[in-house]
């Protein structure tokens, strides 16, 4: 049994895209303009994504201009939900074992073979959704355990892994994830991301009424629900700390409806639509660009569609552009590699 996804109604899991590029001055002088998709491709680096390749789901790499697209080298496949280290040299991701149990692994782009960071053994049921802290010293993740001495019905949790010591600290433990939780209860927390200062997290809360967006401190205190139940999945915090972007989740009784992107303030105010797809089009797994001027996401004609494009929408939703089409099927969880600015 893998990590349970109680409110998850779309296949595959979430990814913040990152791009080091300064906002450009518009022709009028002092007004800042968002770079076009074409202008962004000159920045370089890699975009990592999760796709369906021969033999299963794995990670792929592609240049921002669509060139050099290929499957990530090494490993057994069945790798999901990547996240770049802040310096852009390593990837953390879910490593799904043949037993359907997920562990968290790390692989350096120019280093040795991948290595597992956590050993998931009974009563562990799986760990996943890695998120690198802004300082690079911690990886946050979500997990689940079966019945234990402390939790008769098992427990879902959000935890922090200190990379220097290997110590794991659980900041939220939610024992309702395997039971019939009351309708308004938070039963599980998944897909966490750090705030830019590293002091708080945002995550997808799950319960009997679906999913919603929550925040908390990295100590697990001050848990706040930002959206109503049934609205919100795969959140990501903007680089300036002012906004949280997230996607819809299709309700179980209305399959085939479009999925759009939204943003909201960290205090739960100013909820705004960013994209408005029509028909059965779905916009998935938004990630902020490092300069904060836009959001990277996958646009697919329908759930589980093989041909998903990579798009960019401006931070306020005013403009959106198609960036590229990776060669793997169902290319989602796209993230731009953090790269150091070019020397002058």
Residues 6+ apart with CB under 8 A from 213: 202, 203, 204, 205, 225, 226, 227, 231, 232, 233, 235, 244, 246, 264
Quote the CA–CA distance of 208 and 328 in Å, as a whole number: 34
pLDDT at residue number 177: 86
Partner residues linked to 264 by β-bridges = 244
Q: Which of 35-39, 138-142, 250-254, 324-328 has the lowest mean pLDDT?
A: 250-254
Please give the CATH topology (third level) of the domain spanning 24-336.
Neuraminidase (2.120.10)
Q: What is the pTM of this model?
A: 0.88
pLDDT tens digits, 104-132: 999 888 866 778 898 888 899 999 999 99
Quote the CA–CA distance of 1 and 124 in Å, as a whole number: 10
Q: Could you write out the three-class secondary structure of 126-164? A: EEEEEEECCCCCEEEEEEEECCCCCCCCCEEEEEEEECC
pLDDT tens digits, 138-165: 999 999 999 888 888 899 999 999 999 9
pLDDT tens digits, 31-67: 345 677 777 777 779 999 999 988 788 999 999 999 9
Query: How is the chain split into domains, by residue range?
Result: 24-336
Quote the CA–CA distance of 155 and 181 in Å, as a whole number: 12
Partner residues linked to 50 by β-bridges = 59, 332
Sheet harboring 294-300: ordered strands across? 282-288, 294-300, 309-314, 320-324
């Amino acid at each position: 049994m893998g990590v349970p996804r109680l409110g998850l109604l779309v296949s595959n899991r979430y990814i913040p895209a990152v791009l080091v590029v300064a906002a450009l001055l518009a022709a009028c002088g002092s007004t800042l303009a968002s770079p076009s998709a074409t202008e962004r491709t000159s920045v370089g680096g890699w975009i990592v994504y999760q796709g369906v390749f021969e033999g299963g789901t794995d990670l792929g790499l592609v240049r921002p201009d669509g060139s050099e697209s290929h499957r990530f080298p090494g490993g057994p496949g069945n790798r999901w939900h990547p996240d770049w280290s802040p310096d852009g040299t390593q990837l953390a991701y879910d490593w799904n074992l043949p037993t359907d149990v997920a562990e968290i692994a790390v692989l350096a782009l120019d280093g040795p073979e991948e290595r597992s960071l956590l050993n998931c053994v009974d009563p562990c049921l799986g760990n996943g959704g890695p998120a690198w802290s802004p300082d690079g010293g911690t990886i946050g993740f979500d997990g689940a355990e079966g019945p234990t001495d402390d939790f008769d019905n098992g427990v879902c949790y959000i935890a922090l892994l200190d990379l220097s010591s290997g110590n794991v600290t659980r900041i939220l433990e939610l024992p309702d994830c395997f039971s019939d939780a009351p309708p308004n209860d938070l039963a599980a927390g998944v897909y966490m991301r750090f705030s830019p200062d590293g002091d708080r997290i945002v995550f997808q809360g799950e319960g009997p009424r679906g999913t919603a967006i929550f925040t908390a401190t990295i100590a697990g205190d001050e848990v706040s629900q930002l959206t109503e139940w049934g609205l919100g999945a795969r959140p990501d915090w903007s680089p300036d700390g002012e906004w949280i972007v997230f996607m819809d989740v299709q309700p179980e009784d209305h399959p085939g409806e479009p999925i759009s992107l939204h943003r909201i303030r960290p205090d739960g105010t100013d909820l705004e639509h960013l994209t408005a797809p029509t028909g059965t089009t779905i916009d998935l797994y938004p990630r902020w660009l490092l300069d904060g001027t836009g959001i990277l996401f996958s646009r697919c004609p329908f759930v589980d569609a093989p041909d998903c494009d990579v798009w960019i929408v401006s931070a306020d939703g005013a403009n959106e552009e198609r960036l590229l089409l990776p060669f793997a099927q169902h290319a989602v969880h796209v993230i731009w590699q953090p790269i150091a600015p070019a020397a002058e």
